[in-house]
Amino acid sequence: MSAAQSSRSGAIHDADRYLDVRGVRAAKLPDVDYIWAGFVSGTVGALVAGGGTGKSMFALEAGIGVAGGKSADLLGLNPCATGPVLYLPIEDPSLIIQHRLKAMALQLSEETWDAVADNLAVCCLTGIPLDLLGVGHPSKVESVRWLAQAASGRRLVILDTISRMHCGDENSNGDMARLLNNLEWVCAQTGAAILYLHHIGKGAAREGATDQQAARGASALLDNARWGGIMRRMGMEEAHQCLTGTIEEKELRRHYYVRCGTNKHNYGEPLIDRWYQRHAGGVLLPAELHPVTDQKVEAEYKQWNQRMDDLVQQGKQSGGKRKGKEAGKEATAKPTEGADGDWQ
């Protein structure tokens, strides 16, 4: 019995589970197979972000890159190999997914999109009750068995989002550790990597936190994953440093930029933090941003800060409930989503 077969048998004491410690010194070991930098095939990874940041777009584009290879790598993740991908959205209706796919297809050549279509499967689960937590051994849980069957032969499976796919207590480390164990069981059965999407907590969203504990709920959600990516929107301070134009123009434009990087990696090199800009249909493409130094801009930014402080004081004097610089949001406008905008 091979090690892989032993692993799938579920028998803890199978002899093939024990490593040959003495022989490993002279053994010729295979290279580690990465999905992309830091994310090993056959393991569980997480992508966390606030609602509407763009994590669904990012994950789908990442899957397209793995399915279609280098010419389909819209995000610049440099996938290490091409293979079949399964994307399982449970939040968004199928028509929305189709619009996103079309927007991405239009960024690629017809030949490249054909290659993507050969390897990418999308199964919309909106309204389908799933419970990947369940009770008992993973092989006895109906939803987990279904996922294992669906993941068979895939290189990457994307779960969008994990909070809609279980009935446990998100704040319970016990429940979330069992959920991650079930996903790991699927990985062991199929060899597929699983990337699940999740939201950041309210406090982390307010403070702009990007560390490992920014994810909402129990710490086991990220502690037990082997890779973690995090996305966030561009802040006003960053817009001031990297964008050109007046303060009002920067406030408008910053909502079209997001940043993605690694906040948890156990293997290899982490992904390099990178800015992305939203394009037609919400498609994210890498953006090169450089600090802007301009005395006029510095003066405008100081005026903007003063205006925000004045509005805060006015709010306090009038007994308003708004606090902090949030009180000044009415002074600047945020772009509304258009027909070809997508903020998911």
Task: Identify whether 26 is part of a domain.
Answer: no
What pLDDT, on the 0 to 100 scale, is given for residue 1?
34
Is residue 205 domain-shared with residue 323, that is, in the same domain? Answer: no
The number of distinct structural domains making up the chain is: 2
Task: Identify whether 92 is part of a domain.
Answer: yes
Q: Alpha-carbon distance 257 to 279, whole Å?
A: 10
Q: Alpha-carbon distance 336 to 259, whole Å?
A: 20
- In 3D space, the residue among 185, 120, 190, 105 whose CA is nearest the CA of residue 158 turns out to be 120
Is residue 299 domain-shared with residue 172, that is, in the same domain? Answer: no
Is residue 48 domain-shared with residue 192, that is, in the same domain? Answer: yes
Cα separation values, 221 from 46, 133, 171, 194, Å: 8, 13, 9, 13
Task: Identify whether 266 is part of a domain.
Answer: yes
Long-range contacts of range 288-295, CB-CB < 8 Å, 24 or more positions apart?
289/242, 289/243, 289/257, 290/242, 291/241, 291/242, 292/241, 292/242, 292/243, 292/244
Residue 304's φ and ψ, nearest 5 degrees, are -65, -45
Helix axes 55-68 and 94-105, enclosed angle (nearest 10)? 60
What pLDDT, on the 0 to 100 scale, is given for residue 265?
85
Is residue 69 domain-shared with residue 110, that is, in the same domain? Answer: yes
What pLDDT, on the 0 to 100 scale, is given for residue 133?
94
Q: Alpha-carbon distance 209 to 215, whole Å?
A: 9
Is residue 306 domain-shared with residue 270, that is, in the same domain? Answer: no
Assess contact for 300 and 246: CB atoms under 8 A. Answer: yes
Task: Identify whether 335 is part of a domain.
Answer: no
Is residue 170 domain-shared with residue 310, that is, in the same domain? Answer: no
Residue 301 structural domain:
295-329
What pLDDT, on the 0 to 100 scale, is given for residue 6?
43
Q: Which helix (H) or strand (E) holds 257?
A: strand 257-265
Is residue 107 domain-shared with residue 189, that is, in the same domain? Answer: yes
Assess contact for 196 and 55: CB atoms under 8 A. Answer: no
Is residue 115 domain-shared with residue 65, that is, in the same domain? Answer: yes
Task: Identify whether 11 is part of a domain.
Answer: no
Is residue 164 domain-shared with residue 263, that is, in the same domain? Answer: yes
Q: What is the CATH number of the domain that holds 219?
A: 3.40.50.300
In this structure, the strands spanning 284-286 and 274-278 are antiparallel
Q: Which helix (H) or strand (E) holds 118?
A: helix 110-119
Is residue 184 domain-shared with residue 319, that is, in the same domain? Answer: no
Is residue 279 domain-shared with residue 323, that is, in the same domain? Answer: no
Task: Identify whether 203 is part of a domain.
Answer: yes
Is residue 166 domain-shared with residue 46, that is, in the same domain? Answer: yes
Task: Identify whether 157 is part of a domain.
Answer: yes
Task: Identify whether 21 is part of a domain.
Answer: no
pTM score: 0.82
How high is the mean pLDDT in each 10-residue block of the chain (344 residues)? 44 78 95 96 96 95 98 97 98 97 98 98 95 90 96 98 94 96 97 96 55 74 94 90 87 93 88 93 94 63 69 70 48 43 54
